Amino acid sequence: MLFLQKILDADWFEEREEIVDRLGMPRCNRCGGSLHIGDTVDVAWPWFDDFNLCRGCQDTGITGERG
């Protein structure tokens, strides 16, 4: 479901600066770690986080929901 994901970049953070300041950094749906530039975020964050994945979880092939 690549169309539901976006790679985090500086533009993404700039566009959502107020939301990130208020809610905090988005978190990986699998391991719970904070996402950083280069990680994958759900395009509907902060309403959905199903496709939030850090590079570590992406590299190990882990997908889906935490649990």
Cα–Cα distance for residue pair 30/36, rounded to 1 Å: 15
* Residue type at 39 in one-letter notation: D
**Whole-structure pTM over 0.85, yes or no?**
no
Residue type, 67: G
Q: In 3-state terms, what secondary structure has residue 14?
A: helix
17-26 confidence digits (pLDDT tens): 999 999 999 9
Arithmetic mean of pLDDT, 11-20:
93
Cβ-proximal residues to 22 (8 Å cutoff; 6+ apart), any chain: none
